[in-house]
Amino acid sequence: MAKISFHAITKQYPGTSRPAVDAVSFDVAEGSTCMLVGTSGSGKTTLLRMVNRLIEPTSGEIVIDGKNVLQENPIALRRRIGYVIQQVGLFPHLTIAENVRVTAEIAGGWTKQRLDKRVDELLELVGLPPAEYRKRFPRQLSGGQQQRVGLARALATDPAIMLMDEPFGALDAITRERMQNELLRIQRDVQKTILFVSHDIQEAFKLGEQIAVLDQGKLIQLGTPVDLLAQPANDFVRKLVGGDSILRQLEYLPVIDALEQDTVASARGGDVPTFLSDATLLQAMLKLLETNAPALAVQDKDTQQQLGFITLASINREITHAHGHKTERTETAI
Amino acid sequence: MNYLLQPYNYDLSDPASIPNLFLDHLYLVGITMLISLIIALPLGILVARRPRLYLLVITIADLLYTVPALALIAILITITGLSLATAIIPLVIYTQLVLIRNTATAINGIDPLLLEVGKAMGMNPRQVLLRVALPQALPTIIAGVRIATVTTIGIAALAYLAGQSGLGDLIFKNIATTDFDAVVAGGILIALLAVVADLLLLAVQTVLNRGRTSVSLA
Amino acid sequence: MNALLDFIADPHNNFMGQSITYLRICAISIMLAIVIGVVLAVAVSRSPVLSFIAVNLSGLLRAIPVIAFLVAVVPFLGIGAPPATVALVILGIPPILLNTYTGIRGIDPATIDAAKGMGMTYWQILTRIQAPLILPIVAAGVRTSAVQIVATATLAAITGAGGYGAYIFDGFNTFNKTAILAGAIPVAVLALIIEVAMGWLERALTPIGIRREAVQSQMVVKQGEVAKA
């Protein structure tokens, strides 16, 4: 129950020549994760902060579940939207448990028992054993642990929408990756509609079902990671997503993009190993190298029907000609 | 020590007995702190985040603080005579430096990020003030109150010179007659009061400062 | 105003003599407090236990009201100028000790390391690196001490130390406003001059590169100021 629609949303700060966000329109599907990426100054954070009205738009509409947020009471609006930021912003004078429950407390209507139970549930969910962490203070936690609490706090009232502004940007690489995995795990359970600002394209590919690329306040492209790789709207997107990077293409492009029908292998019939259609080129290439087979037979992952063959040559062709053409493709798992 | 141990020095019907002088002293300190806070809190809030104004106000407060208490009381006596005002005005003046500075520091120390986090989770302005801003500012303000109170307890002894009774009476009345026992009793009682007030306010400060770095004892 | 000038000019009041008495007590007390305070700070700075004791003792001493301290030492030291000087020195030590100690501890070990690395001798490190970094902070402590000593020296008149305080107390006893002002005004002016002059010296001693932080550290140290006469 939480689809977010942007309709020509614009923010122009007084005394600036171009809008920070310029007539951006797109939809975020209910229960999906949409990543906002772009260079600094692209307007991605401004766009995010207009959703819970920490910034008021100059013109345009943001509609959540059919209701224009600009016509809502901002305080009521914010209470049903989770907000997670890079600096975390835990209250230093409150314990971890108090920090988590504060969102529920200010909204009111919770009994003490329900609050206590909810806090324990959430700490458990974000991987902090409640008995150990409940009574601690923020400064006694590492950066990664603090952000787990930040996540728990945002989830406390079970909001349908989460706004996340580079939540893992300040963490070291290993902790960041662990937190990304945690978020994916949690998202599988809670199914929030997430709007997530990131400057890390790797992160965007990993977490996002949709990626919105912004540049100088304008929405340049909206699409799945594969869309962005295979069909970048312009050079900016191609550079941003690393469309030139062979490894990234191998990692994300599906095997069905590199199918061929008539090969030497096809003549040999069933001798070659079979492979499912939702695999990536990289997986296929590794399999080819590993088995030393001349080709792989690709089967549809649902119907088991044989779709074609894949060879090192066909992979090579797909990568060198990746841009420009688009074959019909099935849903891509990342 | 004898003076402190004589039961007749605790006779409540005698206005010059230790308990009565003690209460008089507390009264002087209490009224001073009340007036001081009424002046310093708004002033501190006003000059916070305004560096030029802050520098001006603090420089004036610092110069006033520099004038020795005895000299200030002496000069005031020639103007306002032997009165409560002569005793209270210097005490209030001396608290201003630390109270204004700590209040301004406290306000400056409120993290705007946390105010925004509060706002973003749907706090109304009152909740932001009570749950986010005040808990951050109070420990520093109370630290100032602690220093100001302890200072005031010490200087309030000079109120005797302005004709106001307090523990200073024990010192000034008896030094002329070289009754050192009574003089030292006065000194000990004032020091004791100062230390107790210091520890009490330290406890308050520690409670308010929960979750953050510990406060120093000195 | 004329009465005041007459009072000062009257040889019977010995204004010059009282001024010299007062200034001498203050000057000697400040000098001794500086020497003892700095030496103690340097001495304890290498030992964690000793510095813990020194810092907390200093803090405690500052929490005790000056007047209480002044009368408390009377039975041990007696009455007159020399005992008052001893009391003033003891009161003057804590701010200098605390600031010197803070200054020494505040020097980034990497700075000293770098100096050693470039081949500076112990003496060169002391004079070229440590002294310029510490001096302004010590000066801030001396400023606090000096102002406090000047103020307390007036109060010391109740223990028979003489000086301007004597005029004030005599004035109180005889209800002589002129005498009161003759004592109070010079003391107030002297305290203000010391405060302003020491503030200027402190800034002058601060290397330009660290000027801002030094002002802040002085603020921090001043926050601990409790003793006030």
CA-nearest residue to B120 within chain A is A78
> Does residue A187 lie within any of the structural domains?
yes
Q: Across-strand partners of A296?
A: A310
Residues A29, A159: Cα–Cα separation, whole Å:
15
pLDDT-derived band at B182 (thresholds 50, 70, 90) equals confident
pLDDT-derived band at C63 (thresholds 50, 70, 90) equals low
Residue A127 structural domain: 4-242
Contact C24, B185 (CB under 8 A): no
Count structural domains, chain A: 2
CA-nearest residue to C59 within chain B is B218
Residues B47-92 have pLDDT tens digits of 998 999 999 999 999 999 988 888 899 899 989 989 999 999 999 9
**Tokens standing for B80?**
């306002």
Residue B65 contacts by C-beta under 8 Å, 6 or more apart in sequence?
Answer: B93, B94, B96, B97, C228
Judge: A94–B117 Cβ closer than 8 Å, yes or no. Answer: no
B120 touches A at CB < 8 Å: yes
pLDDT at A330: 38
| Chain C stretch 166-195, residues whose beta carbon is closer than 8 A to a beta carbon of chain B | 168, 171-172, 177, 180-181, 183-185, 187-188, 191-192, 194-195
- Please choose, from the candidates B150, B156, B159, B154, the residue with its C-alpha nearest in 3D space to the C-alpha of residue B196: B150
CATH number at residue A104: 3.40.50.300
| Nearest chain C Cα distance for residue B42, angstroms | 20
Residues A200, A63 share a domain: yes
pLDDT at A36: 96
Strands A59-64 and A4-11: antiparallel
Look at domain B16-208 and name its CATH class: mainly alpha
A109 touches B at CB < 8 Å: no
Compare CB distances from B78 to C62, C180, C188 and report the shortest one's residue.
C180
Type of residue found at B154? G
| Nearest chain A Cα distance for residue B29, angstroms | 31
Res B42 pLDDT > 80: yes
Judge: A89–B212 Cβ closer than 8 Å, yes or no. Answer: no
Residues C109-122 have pLDDT tens digits of 888 888 888 888 88
Selected for mutation to probe chain B from A54, A95, A99, A106 (highest B CB count within 10 Å) is A106
Judge: B135–A153 Cβ closer than 8 Å, yes or no. Answer: no
Among A242, A261, A295, the domain-final residue is A242
| Nearest chain B Cα distance for residue A78, angstroms | 5
Judge: A138–B211 Cβ closer than 8 Å, yes or no. Answer: yes
CATH number at residue A273: 3.10.580.10
> Does residue C210 lie within any of the structural domains?
yes
Contact C20, C14 (CB under 8 A): no
Res C222 pLDDT > 90: no
Residues A222, A302 share a domain: no
Residues A227, A306 share a domain: no
pLDDT at A255: 81
Determine the longest span between alpha carbons in chain C, in angstroms: 69
Residues A84, A194 share a domain: yes
Residues B170, A27: Cα–Cα separation, whole Å:
81
Annotate C90-152 with DSSP letters as a single string: HHHHHHHHHHHHHHHHHS-HHHHHHHHHTT--HHHIIIIIIHHHHHHHHHHHHHHHHHHHHHH
> Does residue A333 lie within any of the structural domains?
no
| Nearest chain B Cα distance for residue A97, angstroms | 12
Give pLDDT tens digits along chain A (334 positions): 578 999 999 999 998 889 999 999 999 999 999 999 998 889 999 999 999 999 999 999 999 998 999 999 999 999 999 999 999 999 999 999 999 999 989 888 889 999 999 999 999 999 999 999 999 999 999 999 999 999 999 999 999 999 999 999 988 988 899 899 989 999 998 899 999 999 888 899 899 999 999 999 999 999 998 888 888 899 899 888 876 677 777 888 888 777 877 655 555 555 678 888 888 888 888 888 888 888 888 888 888 888 888 888 888 777 766 544 443 343 343 3
> Which partners does chain C have (≥3 C-beta pairs < 8 Å)?
B
| Nearest chain C Cα distance for residue B128, angstroms | 29
CA-nearest residue to A52 within chain B is B120
> Does residue A326 lie within any of the structural domains?
no
Residues A143, A205 share a domain: yes
Judge: C68–B186 Cβ closer than 8 Å, yes or no. Answer: yes
> Does residue A313 lie within any of the structural domains?
yes
Residue C94 structural domain: 2-223
Judge: B218–C188 Cβ closer than 8 Å, yes or no. Answer: no
> Does residue A329 lie within any of the structural domains?
no
Residues B76, B132: Cα–Cα separation, whole Å:
43
> Which partners does chain B have (≥3 C-beta pairs < 8 Å)?
A, C
Compare CB distances from B127 to A77, A106, A137 and report the shortest one's residue.
A106
CATH number at residue C140: 1.10.3720.10
Residues A132, A41 share a domain: yes
Res B192 pLDDT > 60: yes
**Residue ranges per structural domain of chain B:** 16-208
Judge: C180–B77 Cβ closer than 8 Å, yes or no. Answer: yes
> Does residue C182 lie within any of the structural domains?
yes
Residues A261, A191 share a domain: no
CA-nearest residue to C181 within chain B is B75
Residues B122, C55: Cα–Cα separation, whole Å:
46
Res C221 pLDDT > 70: no
Residues A257, A211 share a domain: no
Residues A267, A211 share a domain: no
A92 touches B at CB < 8 Å: yes
Residues A138, A158 share a domain: yes
C60 touches B at CB < 8 Å: yes
